[in-house]
Structure 1
Amino acid sequence: MDMRLATKSDYLTLIDIWERSVRATHDFLSERDIEELRPLILGSYFDAVELTSAVTATGRIVGFCGVQGGNIEMLFIDPDARGQGVGRLLVQRATTTQGATKVDVNEQNPQALGFYEHLGFEVVGRSPLDGQGKPYPLLHMVLRVGLN
């Protein structure tokens, strides 16, 4: 698996991965929520972070991670590539190369919570609303010592 910085030419592939990943893991979001988020992600969120793509030997992007200011702001894996270590590789790069030590996780996404806990993050706080002010509580997590 190769890790490389994503470019604007990757955005349509990344938004497709984002949407399929969200539909597979964020069952608390409504169709309207997804439709509202899609243009925000394409129009500004991707540009606000340093995006790293996980790319297979055949050149297919199977996941991506966005980091900004020491925070993992987004991590999405192609549902067909889940469980193959892609997320772990992206988080390792984020923590070792990009200095990420924090992440916010939707409280209603226990898979993501368990994933980050397994890697050595711990919950240090909670917000009742997400970044868009919606009633999707966020758990604030910090990397303990080093990636497990």
Structure 2
Amino acid sequence: MLVITFFMLLLAPPIQNGVITGNTVEQRECMDLIKRGGDIACKLTGQGDYRSMSVSNCWVSCTTKFAYFSLPHRECERIFGVESWAGFQEVFKTLPPYGYENCDDEDKETLTNWVHRWTELRDKSKDYSCSKDNKVD
């Protein structure tokens, strides 16, 4: 009983703030970042557009999928450790959400940095491809 009480005290603030109840606006922000970064990666490598993401493999796939791009690993991890899953499941009848589903400020920052890195790679690739020193005769 003490464990359940402690577990509920631990969960009360996030639940009240809508973190675990599925605030769809927050979730959409993280999914939009994943799609934006994935779209840049797919186009940069000539694989078309963003198609989907795989939580089990933590990667993005494209419409012409011949390579996959890793997402920041923490986005594919559940927000609580395995030792807490049974209590969470008992209370909410589901496993704890993944990082991108939780989409707190840290998740947004992680994904924003990931998108920024892909944007930088795209821009460097354009600069390199368009410079006269790298033209193929």
The TM-score range, normalised by the shorter chain, is: under 0.3
Which structure dedicates a bigger proportion of its chain to helix? 2
TM-score scaled by length of structure 2: 0.27
Higher relative contact order (CA 8 A, sep 6+): 2
TM-score scaled by length of structure 1: 0.25
Which structure dedicates a bigger proportion of its chain to strand? 1
